[in-house]
Amino acid sequence: SAVISQKPSRDICQRGTSLTIQCQVDSQVTMMFWYRQQPGQSLTLIATANQGSEATYESGFVIDKFPISRPNLTFSTLTVSNMSPEDSSIYLCSVERGYNEQFFGPGTRLTVL
Amino acid sequence: GESVGLHLPTLSVQEGDNSIINCAYSNSASDYFIWYKQESGKGPQFIIDIRSNMDKRQGQRVTVLLNKTVKHLSLQIAATQPGDSAVYFCAESYSGGGADGLTFGKGTHLIIQP
């Protein structure tokens, strides 16, 4: 498995502002992923982040709204830009270990007022 | 913490009984499947996985069954305990296109009755 931490664990933000979420892993990984979990829902993949290349976004998610950085093999950030109440969700990062096995961080609980 | 099971199907079983959670997956090309457990206020926790070249895999108190013909996955939990109460998600991926994220099912909220 992997030890994954996220900061902040939760936040309450005003609409129109931006929040950057950090994801730190205890060892080097090639693949990192960002997911969103809306209240009472399942998880939806936002994007895949490889070190040294642009993130790959899923349908319905765009870089202007969710810019991602991946400066090294143990760290990534996701920014939620120009937030609205519809962005209130849990945002989770995950890492891939072994063959397709993914392990998740604890999540960042975002509330937008 | 926040509940993640508000809008999800619920399965209620008596402590000590066996439980079966079902999942229908969408992509016939998917070749890797995982079950996750998510407790309130936490991220998903890996339980067990299975690859498409298998139809059954067992772990400690858990068994995953895969029926590729009908695109169905199930998770069996034996002798359920109060700590098994959580939301359970199945997830699928296809490795043929390189490293991909997971596609998650809707989830089932398992409640263990004392």
Structure tokens at A13: 């933000």
Candidates B2, B6, B102; nearest CB to A102: B102
**The pLDDT of residue B14:** 97
**The pLDDT of residue A8:** 98
Question: Using alpha carbons only, how large is chain B's radius of gyration in Å?
Answer: 14
A60 interfacial to chain B (CB closer than 8 Å):
no
- Residue B52 CA to residue B48 CA, distance in Å, equals 14
Question: In terms of Cα–Cα distance, which of A96, A3, A87, A101 is closest to A44?
Answer: A87
Which residues in chain B have Cβ-Cβ distances shorter than 8 Å to A51?
Answer: none
Chain B contact residues (CB < 8 Å to A): 2-8, 32, 34, 36, 42-46, 49, 89, 91, 93, 95, 99-107
pLDDT at B3 over 90: no
The pLDDT tens digits of the residues spanning A40-75 come to 899 999 999 988 888 999 999 999 999 999 999 999
The pLDDT tens digits of the residues spanning A8-17 come to 999 999 999 9
CA distance B93 to chain A (A): 8
pLDDT at B94 over 90: no
**The pLDDT of residue B96:** 63
Which residues in chain A have Cβ-Cβ distances shorter than 8 Å to B103?
Answer: 45
**The pLDDT of residue A27:** 93
- Residue B44 CA to residue B86 CA, distance in Å, equals 10
Give residues with Cβ within 8 angstroms of A86, minimum separation 6. Answer: A112
Query: Which residues are paired to B76 by β-bridges?
Result: B20, B63
Q: Note whether A2 and A100 are within 8 A (CB).
A: no
Instruction: Evaluate the CA torsion angle B24, B26, B31, B36 in order and state its sign.
Output: negative
pLDDT at B97 over 70: no
The pLDDT tens digits of the residues spanning B47-76 come to 999 999 999 999 999 999 999 999 999 999
pLDDT at A99 over 90: no
Which residues in chain B have Cβ-Cβ distances shorter than 8 Å to A106?
Answer: 42-43
The pLDDT tens digits of the residues spanning A23-46 come to 999 999 988 999 999 998 999 999
